[in-house]
Every structure is written in C-alpha cells, then in structure tokens.
Structure 1
Amino acid sequence: MFVKKIARALLLASLVAVACNTPNTTESNFPLVEATIADIHAAMEKGEVSAEYLVEGYLRRIEAYDKQGPSINSIIIVNPEAMETARYLDSVYAASGKVGPLHGIPVIVKDNYDVKGMPTSNGTLALKSSYPPDDAFQIKRLREAGAIILAKSNLAEFASSGSFSVSSVLPGYSRNPYDTRRTTAGSSGGTGASIAASLAVVGLGTDTGSSIRGPSSHQALVGIRSTMGLTSRDGIVPLALTNDIGGPMARTVEDAVRVFDVIAGYDEADTVTRASVASKPDSYLPFLEGSTLNGKRVGVLHQLFPLADSDTSVYSLMTAALEDLREGGAILLDSVRIEDLDSLNESGTRIRQLKRDYNAYLASLGDSAAYKSLQEIIDSEKYHPYLEKRLIDAQSDVDVPEAHPDWQKNMALRQELRNRILGVMDSLELDALIYPSFTYPPRLIGDLNGPRGDTSGKLSPPTGFPAIAVPMGYSYGRYPAGFQLLGRPFSEGVLFEISHAYEQLTGHRRAPEGFDEIGSE
C-alpha cells in the first residue's frame, strides 16, 4: 500500500508538471552551453524547460567549474533567493505566461551593482557585508522583465584595473576560460569569464575606460558601452561619473540587444538619462531583422593598430575581419584619421573623481553603511594592497572635481575630440569607425610588463560615444580577439545592425573547451 501511495504521488507530481508546462528538471536534455534567450523561451513554450531547471543547471555549472575543475574563479556570491524566484516565475508562467522579455533568464552581475538582499562589495573587503537598501536601476529593470539575478561576479577592486580582475573579497585572480593561465582583462573580467563559460545566459558589466569591451574581446563575447545618457548609473558603485557606464555582456549580438532593450532609458535618479527620452527607440530588435552590411560605410582607424605595434596574429585577424565586412557589402574607407588623437587623449592632468563620487555612493546606503567615507575605508586597510596609492591619491585630490584648475581644460579636450570624430564621420558619411579592442592576445596572469595593446579608452570613454565589441576570431587559433565599432551619439541601432550582420556572416563565437554539459543525476 505504501509503495502504491508513493507511485500515485509521483504520478500526480508528473501530471502537475505537465499541466504547468514545466519539465521534470532531472529528465530534460535542454543544453545550457551557449543557450540563448530565444532558445530558452522557445523551449519554455514547448514545455521542455523551466526557470527552475535553468537555475538548478547553472548553479551546478558554477559548482563544477568556477572553484573546481578549470576553476575560473569568477563568482563572488550566489543569490540565495534565485531558486525561489525561479519557482515563482514558473507558477506565473503556468497561470498567465511570461512576465516580460527576460522571463526566467539567469543573469550574472558584476559586484558593483546594488542588488537588494545581496551585499555589494565593489570587490572591497571593507564592504563585503554592505547590503544596499534597494536595487540599482538596471537591476530593477531586469527583475521587472522577469530575469533572475543568479550571482554576483568578481571584478578588479574598485573597478580600477583594465588589466586583470582581482579583489580583496575573493582570493586569487579570475581566469580566462579559453586559457586559465591568462587574464580575463578587467574590471568586468568576472562577468566575462562566467558568461563565456556558460555559467549563466547573460551578464552585466561596467565600463569606465574599457571594462565591458575589454573582457568581452578577451572572451569571445559581445559587449556594448552605450552613449552617455542612454543607460542609468543609479545604484552602480562609481569610479568616475564622467565616464562610468553599465551594460550587457553576452554570447550573441541578439542577446545583448534583448538585455539592452530592458535596461536602457530614462531614470529620474540619473539626470544624464534625460537625453534618452527623445533618442531611444521602443526597441532595438528591429535593427536585427534583415540586418545587412550592404552599403554600410565604415571608417578603418589604422592609427589605433599600426602593424609595428601589433601582434601579427591579432593583426591578421583584424585584416580578415575587414575583408569579411567588405565581401559582405560594407564600404570600407581606409583614409580615416583623427588628427592629434594622442595629444587629445593625453593632454591635461588626470582629474580624480573617486572621492566625491564614492562618498556620495556611501551616503546613499543610509544607516546600513559600515563606512561613511573613502578616508574611512583607507583607514580600515581592508582592500587589496595594489590599490593603496591609488586610493590615497584620490583622497588627497580636490573635494569637488569641477574645482580642479585643469577641469575646464580637460572638458575642452573632450569636446574637441568629439568634434574631430564627428567631423571625420560627417565628411566621409560614415556609419561607424572600426578598430581592434586589443592589438595583442590576453596576457599571462601576473604579466604587467608585456604589451597589452588596449585601444578601448581612446575614443568612447572621453567622448561619451557608443562602442560595441564583437568577436573576430582567435589569435594563434586559441585566444579570443574582437574589434570595436564606434558610432555617433545614440546610434546604437546602427552598431547593432552592423555587428549582427557580421556575426551572422562569420559565426566566430565558440565555447571554451573544458566546460561541457553536465549530465543529470
């Protein structure tokens, strides 16, 4: 009789699962490696996958691959509420369908985004137990769209390094899944490594100088740094608000666009986003429908990748990418040059904004903040030693960056760079400029002297113009490389179209070895 009761209970559970259109998580064969948002939602409609299945599967992948196996060391903390959220979303789906365009999609976010119910450390031991009072604007948008915050990823502490991702919160470096001896770049290297290894579907990073586009290029991902004013920085721990941007990192252009559609737009808490009201379309997905390279005019910025200053394999990949674009119908113009580019980038004193911006962030935490100022964090000595001089220098600078004697000079240089770029683009009727994200492969971890060849900080951060990183192949057949497309302000749609058309033509993205599907138990 007891056996019959168990059998009836199992049968009832099976029937409920079918009725709710949610599969038995131990029997589904839906692959998680390289899964896209569209793949997942199509499988949900067929009853082949549920949000619970996804969360369970990706958590198993994190357990198997992040601190064990290849040990890419990309995750700081897993969201303890992820499974509960998944089950809730499954119940809603059974009753009324998807709650939004990211229904059930597990997302990994860099640990400088505020996520209510989870600590936001910014990679800093002093803030390891700092719980923000609410979600960052972009996190709120993700939740409203049905996404599941699965985990928070490692970063270069204080988002301060474009060369590596190491913090005082998580021992050791984050490692590149394509070669774990090599760097992920920074500072969003933890997000880059985890998404490349399919520890979640998509991720969020931040970019002050290169930190979305750099890790994306080193790990065969698509990463978009938006126009300044199109995406909110509210609830993101700042480094320098004149440059800070948050945005998606994904394995495909389409997935990046699906996330971007959700997070972009006006936020009253970040006044720069007022510019988005008149500039953001309802959706960027239509730019992908029938995307084409035909007639797109792209300026090749050779001055950012001279052969003499480039690794020969990376240079060959860039040359091949240009030829692919040309064969796809794009019109490439090789005569492009930004006069005085180096001096426009390098003239003037570096003006540190961290003290003012960071103190304002700490104040936003209210009574829950264990530290009230940057000086208190410096005094605590709870941070990685490599940061000490940088933090002390920031603290010793002016309280108000705009009061710095070189502030106006710096702003004038930025405006002149904008004018030069727009002047060239207008005169040649260009849709975009193109250049490699790095002119060298990812460096070995610990190598801070070898050539890095990072171009990402030259154009987009000081101007506020959008730039997208796209995979273009693998140097020496192994190390991911990518190019960037830079556009006019609020021209993200055009950049997405060109990137998507190139991606569909070439299909360079491939999963790293050693991160296979995990069989059901």
Structure 2
Amino acid sequence: MRHASRRDVLTATLGLTAIKAISILPFGTQAYAQTPPQTAAGIVSAIREKRTSATDVVKAALARAEQMKHLNAIITLNTEGALAAAKKIDDMVAGGKPLPPLAGLPIVVKDNINTADLPTTGGTEALRNARPNANAPSLQKLIDAGAIVVGKANMHELAFGITSTNAASFAGHVKNPYDTTRIPGGSSGGTSASIAAGIVTAGLGSDTGGSTRIPAALTGTVGLRPSVGNGGAQRRYHDANAVVPISHTRDTVGPMGRTVADVALLDSVITGTPLATPAALKGKRIGIPTSFWNGLDPELEAVVKTARGKLETAGVVFVDGDLPGLAELNAKVSFPVALHEPVEDIPAYLKASGIDGVTLEDIAGKIKSPDVQGAFGAILKDAFGKDYPDAMKVHRPALQKLYADYFKANNLDAMLFPTTPAPAVPIDAEKGSGEMSIGGGKPAPTFFTMIRNTDPGSNAGIPGLSLFAGMTKGGLPVGIEIDGPVGSDTALLALGLAMEALLGTAPAPGAK
C-alpha cells in the first residue's frame, strides 16, 4: 500500500510520463526512442532533436529526486519553477526558435550558492529562510544558457567539512548512493550524490580545500576546482559575495558531472571559452608526487596503480619526484586563511546578498553539527588572526612558487595522484567527522586524512580535476586527480577527457 500511495502521488504531481521515465537520468532505458543520452550534451541534443521534451526530462529528474529522497541529497526541490522553465524551452522548440547551448538541461546547485528564487541556506539553521537578492554569476550564466535548476543540493553545514554529515534539522546526513551507510564526501556531497544517483547529469558545487573533488572521488563522478591564483585575472570564476563563504582567497564555485564532458560543457558556458577537446595522451609529461601516493588504502591503491599503468601504456611519460616541504608549508597557510577570513567574509556576504537580520554570531550560535561548532569556536575567537599576515605574505607565495617550480623544472603538463587516500568511510552521525583507519593503522581524524592530497593545491590556487579511476573489490568508487599550473584549466579538461576515454566511467550504483 505504501508503494502504491507514493506512485499515486508522483503520478498526480508529475504525470505518468515522468513515472515511466523515472530512471532516465542518466542510467535509464525507456525515456528516449533511441539510446538514452549519457551526458549533459546528449540530453540537450535529445531535446533539440525533438526525441524528448524539456518538460519530460525535468519531470523525470523531479521524480527521480523523489525516488532517491532517502539519500538526503537535496534540501529544496524547485518543482514549480523547473517545470515553468522547461515549458519555455519547449515553446521555443515548437516555435522553431534558436536554442541556447544548455536548453532544458536539469541541474542541481549546492545550497551555499546564491539563488534569487530559492532559499540559500548554507545547510545551516540561521540561513534556513535566507533569500539572496540575485543569482550567483556562474549560475546565472548556466540559466541564461538554458539550464534548469531542479533543486538546491545538501552539503556539509556551512561547507566546513568533507563528509556532508549535516545535523541541521532540515538537511540531514547525505548518503553515498553506492553504499548508504557511507559518506558521499563533501562539502558538495549533495551535488555529487544527486549526479551519482541519476537525478541529474551535472550541477554546481564549491571548493575551498577539496569540496568538489573529494565527493566526486567517493561517488564515481567528476569535479573541477577552477584556477583561483591570486584572484583578479587569474581567477577563472567570479562569484565574489555570491556564495556563503569560508575564504575569499580559497573559495570557488566548481562544476560537477557524471563525465568529464559534462564538466567541460558547464565550464565552457560559465567562462565563455571554447569547449575542451580530448588531448593526445602519448608524450604527455605528468608528475607523480611521491608523498601523495604513500599511505593509501590497499584496495584504493590497487585501483589507482592500475589506472596509472593504463596511462603509461597509452604513452604518458611519468616523472617521479616530490615537492619538498609541501606538507609543512601548506599547514602554515591552510587554517590561518580558512579560519580567519570568515570573520570578515561572512558579514560582507550577508550585506552584499541583502540578507538582513542575521549576523556571524547568529550563524555560529545555531550551528548543529559538532565538527562545525568547533571550527566556528576558533573563528569567533579569531584564533588564527595573528598567523594570517605571514600566511598570506610569506607562506602562500612560497607554496605557489613551490608548485610553479615543480611544473617548470620537470616540464610537466600536469601532476597525477589519488584524490583521496581511501574510499568512502562509514557515516559518523555522532561527531559529523570522526576518525578513520587506513589499512589497520592508527586512527586519525577523517577530515585531515581525506583532504591530505587536495588541500595543498587549493591553497596554491591551482586547478584540479578529479575523475573516475575504477571500483574497489568492495564496490566503492575511486577517484584520481590531475592538477596543473594556474590557468591551465582547459588543457586539464582536455587531458581529463582523454584519460576518461581510457579509464571509463563509473557503473550505476547497484549495477553488476
């Protein structure tokens, strides 16, 4: 009876077509007369060629979101707004009007990215009803190109964590579609879980220390951290004061997708640059930073070494070596920046976004997740304020020089490493982010363990792309990352397209 009742509700709300097509995005088989599209571009083409309608695609995404609601991947569904936007696309098709490049593509948007027509909660109680005065610029470019926001994605509270285990009353713990007892990664866990579960093919996350790439790795999807550099012309995406902030120095919006092609398409639209095309792998020089490959989970290690072997067979030239003193230098930058800049950045965001009656202290006082409460205790005390000037004027420039010298001295196109040292770990509902053990070793904090490989590049402001490397014997996805010099984003995407053609894409959750 429960199953029949849910079906009746869905049928009444979305129509029978959506129920029949409930699994089409991206893994279903019944929605299209031909082979179902497996990429964002494929969905847009199907709409453009009248093999389906934008309305049917959006209805299917909404129905799939309802079916997958146990994942807690989405905070707010945009049912009415998404269907209205889809009708406009269908009217354009019927009238023979030129279609924008993303016409009818359903996306989800992390709930710290400003949306004018939907709340932007940051996954925290104090902002539950916050309504910013405008869409974030990167999102607006996608909407102008015809993308349709079907929902705001759940996240680690205020983006201060990598598990997406959120204790806020309206959010909940995001679950990994491949094993719902495990984390999807974070802080953009809702976006990655929505993509992995087939609700949408692509969406937006944000990344401060790994928040697009870690969840991509743990859910078999793809995440890009665009170049940030020293800001200004070096910053690829420009969303100042349009994302609930951690750090203006480190934060960036980043596209996420089921494939590298999905991410490349969104990146091209946001930046107005030509779409990346696959690079030739033969002769590419890629660095292997030794320390990033040490201390790995045995099952994950087997997967990434197999991936490396395939790339070597394809003609990639690997250059072994390390970045001396990287961990120590990164430690002098990471927390002094991330736990000092919110003192000014959060009030500036609230003012610029027109969110009245909420203060930094209000936000801190209503945080529910234990791990985030700890971080904001340090922020309110400005515990790292004394270290911040040296972090910005001495240590961060030194970190950036270390990376630049590494790429230049070795004549590298990119560097390659496991995105995370272990696959997804069990959800720790009590602490939000507890401890984990790799290979039976001594337990260590999950946060520091999982950001080990993604955080240094974030602090240096270089671009990074995490893509699917393979599955563990236990059925969990593994991600592998390529980082490049500041400004090499398009080249990095081109390399990622070629790597993905060789390594493949993740199977659907539950698929054999």
Question: Shared topology, TM-score over 0.5?
Answer: yes
Contact 1:44 1:50 in 2 (8 A): yes
Q: Which runs of 5+ in 1 are unaligned?
A: 1-22, 266-281, 517-521
Question: Shift of the alpha carbon at 1:264?
Answer: 2.6
Structure 2 SS opposite 1:81: helix
Q: CA 1:344 to 1:39, structure 2 compared with 1: closer, same or farther past 3 Å? A: same
Q: Which amino acid aligns with 2:293?
A: F
Structure 2 residue corresponding to 1:233, chosen from 231, 239, 251? 239
Q: Cα deviations across residues 390-418 of structure 1 (Å, max 9, x unaligned)?
A: 223212218xx9x7454134432121122
**Residue among 36, 41, 44 paired with 2:39:** 36
Correspondence for 2:71: 72
Aligned residues: 461
Confirm or deny: 8 A CA contact 1:112 1:123 kept in the other structure: yes
Name the counterpart of 1:480.
477
Answer yes or no: is the 8 Å Cα contact 1:213–1:456 preserved in 2: no
Q: Distance in 2 between matches of 1:156 and 1:409?
A: 26
Query: Percent identity among equivalent residues?
Result: 29
Deviations, residues 299-346 of structure 1 (Å, cap 9, x unaligned): 11121121xx21111111111111111111111112x21011121112
Counterpart CA distance in 2 for 1:122 and 1:406 is 25
* TM-score, scaled relative to structure 1: 0.84
Select the structure of larger CA radius of gyration.
Answer: 1
CA gap 1:114/1:327 in 2 versus in 1, 3 angstroms: same
2:217·2:480 contact (CA, 8 Å) conserved in 1? yes
Alignment equivalent of 1:297, drawn from 285, 303, 307: 285
1:363 CA drift (Å): 0.8
Which letter maps to 2:314?
A: G
CA distance in 2, matches of 1:98, 1:156: 39
Counterpart of 2:181 in 1: which secondary structure?
coil
Which structure 2 residues correspond to residues 374-385 of structure 1 after superposition, within 5 A? Answer: 374-379=360-365, 381=366, 383-385=368-370
Which amino acid in 2 is paired with 1:31? I
For the Cα contact (< 8 Å) 1:25–1:52, is it kept in 2?
no
1:177 is paired with a residue whose SS is coil
Contact 1:123 1:167 in 2 (8 A): no
Q: Is 1:370 aligned to residue 357 of structure 2? A: yes
Shift of 1:216: 0.3
What's the secondary structure of 1:478's corresponding residue?
Answer: coil
Could you tell which deviates more after superposition, 227-236 or 173-182?
227-236
C-alpha spacing 1:243/1:507, structure 2 compared with 1 (3 Å): same
Which of residues 492, 500, 510 in structure 1 aligns to 2:489?
492
**How big is the shift at 1:382?**
5.5
2:157–2:168 Cα contact (<8 Å) kept: yes
Matches within 5 A, 1:105-124: 105-124=105-124
> Deviation at 1:24?
7.4
Alignment partner, residue 3 of structure 2 = none
CA contact (8 A) 1:33 1:198 kept: yes
1:149-207 CA-to-partner distances (Å, cap 9, x unmatched) read 11001011110001333141535310000000100111100111011111112111011
Alignment of 1:270-281 (within 5 A): none
The amino acid across from 1:195 in the alignment is I
What RMSD, in angstroms, separates the aligned Cα atoms of the two structures?
A: 2.3
Cα displacement string for residues 26-47 of structure 1 (whole angstroms, at most 9, x for unaligned residues) = 8879933243122223322432
Structure 2: where are the runs of 5+ without partners? Answer: 1-15, 28-37, 229-234, 438-445
Q: Tell me, what secondary structure is at the counterpart of 1:459?
A: helix
380, 390, 401: which one aligns with 1:419? 401
Runs of 4+ in 1 over 2 A off after TM superposition: 23-35, 96-99, 169-172, 347-351, 376-379, 381-390, 403-406, 408-411, 451-459
Check conservation: 2:188, 2:211, Cα contact below 8 A: yes
- 1:508 deviation in Å? 3.6
Aligned counterpart, 1:311: 297
Map 1:150-299 → 2, pairs under 5 A: 150-228=150-228, 229-234=235-240, 235-264=242-271, 282-285=273-276, 287-288=277-278, 291-299=279-287
Shift of 1:477: 4.4
Change beyond 3 A, Cα 1:26–1:177 = closer
Q: Which amino acid aligns with 1:130?
A: A
Select which of 47, 53, 56 maps to 1:53: 56
Select between 408-417 and 337-346 the one with higher mean Cα deviation. 408-417
Residue aligning to 1:449: 435
Residue 276 of structure 1 corresponds to which residue in structure 2? none
Alignment partners' CA distance in 1, 2:66 and 2:388: 49
**In 1, Cα distance between the equivalents of 2:23 and 2:157?**
36
> Displacement, 1:478?
0.6
- 2:13 alignment partner in structure 1: none
Q: Once the 2 structures are TM-superposed, how far is the Cα of residue 25 of structure 1 from its aligned partner?
A: 6.5
The match for 2:504 among 490, 502, 507 is 507
Instruction: Give the direction of change, closer, same or farther, for the CA distance of 1:98–1:394 in structure 2 (3 Å limit).
Output: farther
CA distance in 1: counterparts of 2:283 and 2:86, whole angstroms: 45
Equivalent residue, structure 2, for 1:354: 342
Offset of 1:469 from its aligned partner? 0.3
- What's the offset of the Cα at 1:347? 3.1
TM-score (norm 2): 0.85
